[in-house]
Amino acid sequence: MPSTPDPSDPIDPAGPTDSAGAAPARGGRWRRWREAARHRRFTRMSERRGRLRSMSTTPTAPAPVIDPTAERRAAVARLAGPLGALTGQELLIGLDVDGTLVDHDGTMSAPMRAALQHAAEQHTVVIATGRSIGATLPIVRAAGIEHGYAVCSNGAVTLQIDADTEPGHRVIDTRTFLPGHALATLREVAPDAHYAVETAGGEFYATTGFQDASFGVEAIESDLEDLMALEAVRVVVHVPDLSPQEFSKIVAESGVHGVEYAIGWTAWLDMAAPGVSKASALEVVRERLGIAAAHTVTVGDGFNDVEMLGWAGVGVAMGQAPQGVKDVADEVTLSVYEDGTVLVLDALGA
């Protein structure tokens, strides 16, 4: 996600890291969401590489000075209307992790942790992330959430969190697919790519030399032919030597079909079963609990969040989110570095 951390970023050990009702009419915002969803959706933060800016002798106007206190007051005022109206209702709150709950160093602030724990005591909090089970559970534990739900792998796996049971969670929904055709197609256009398959049990199988902390476990080295025969909840394809733009063009021209896919800000692609997203998994949880569609709130900052922002009764984009994400949200809060998600939870009285 632009301004969203890599799921492989470490968690700060000193503090934690990541009745039915009709939904309000979407109108133009729904159309904008559909349009944005056609474009690349973020799944993984790029490495931050320094780049030299082109030099210019033309004087530039000084940047405007922004009063952070005034900016915070304005954000609180913006959020008060749509979120304050939900005070006292039973809510489902879906929260992205990287760039929403934790910053680019994988650290969650003390106010964020306190607000999240309080919200989980009052409402149904659902952690909604692109991370695998193994990379999501440390966030849940570090945040101190004892009861609730977690949507992993961009909606392919849903967990119920219950600290009173062993091992503290259980899988309640998985969405699998057979990636053989898609992998064979991509192999033709990206023969030097790294490939990995995540299974419903949380295991990862990957081609030689492909390991990533976002997997949450050590990948088992496998031949691509073996990967093509596996049943997957998610497939990862990474081409280190290509830019995201180059990789996006290759994938688009490859004719890959029958899967959902998202390309991040590096040449990193996630594939899932058709129709699977964070929003589809959140809807499963909402229907399971019987929470009104209008009483759902989501917060996120990346292109893999646009579906759930459009799905929610109130979708809130983080302040550092790209404009394409903000365009599909109902409201915009402050950035993750300014505890923007805390403002959202405070406005809900959570």
What pLDDT is attached to residue 62?
A: 56
Q: Which amino acid is at 310?
A: G
At position 190, the amino acid (one-letter code) is A
Residues 291 and 337 in one domain: yes
How many C-beta atoms lie closer than 10 Å to residue 268's C-beta?
A: 24
Taking the C-alpha atoms of residue 317 and residue 299, their distance in angstroms, rounded to an integer, is 6
Lowest mean pLDDT among 63-67, 273-277, 317-321: 63-67
In the beta sheet, which residues pair with residue 104? none
The predicted model scores a pTM of: 0.77
Over the stretch 298-313, which tens digit does the pLDDT of each residue have?
999 988 899 999 999 9
The half-sphere exposure of 231 on its side-chain side, counting CA atoms within 13 A, is 6
Note whether 259 and 271 are within 8 A (CB). yes
Distance from C-alpha of 14 to C-alpha of 78, rounded to nearest angstrom: 33
Weakest mean pLDDT among 47-56, 195-204, 245-254: 47-56
Residue at 54 is within a domain: no
CATH (domain of 131): 3.40.50.1000
pLDDT at 60 over 90: no
**Residue ranges making up the domain that contains 319:** 28-42+89-175+276-347
Residues 127, 257, single domain; the answer is no
Distances in whole angstroms, Cα of residue 14 to Cα of each of 38, 110, 236 = 40, 10, 31
- Output the CA–CA distances (angstroms, integers) from residue 123 to 65, 68, 115, 155, 312, in the order listed: 38, 30, 12, 20, 15
Count of CB atoms situated within 10 Å of the CB of 79: 23
User: Who's near 63: CB < 8 A, 6+ residues apart?
Assistant: none
The dihedral region occupied by 43, where left means phi > 0, alpha psi between -120 and 50, and beta the remainder, is alpha
What is the tally of structural domains in the chain?
2
Q: 96 with 209, same domain?
A: no
Same domain, 212 and 96: no
**CA-atom Rg of the chain in angstroms:** 20
One domain, residues 235 and 123: no
Please report the pLDDT score of residue 203 as a whole number: 93
**Contact criterion met (CB below 8 Å) for 161 and 149:** yes
Both 169 and 244 in one domain: the answer is no
CA dihedral 190, 191, 193, 197 (to 10 degrees): 100
Surface-to-core class of residue 51, CB atoms within 10 Å of its CB (0-12 exposed, 13-18 middle, 19+ buried):
exposed
What confidence score (pLDDT) does residue 65 get? Answer: 54
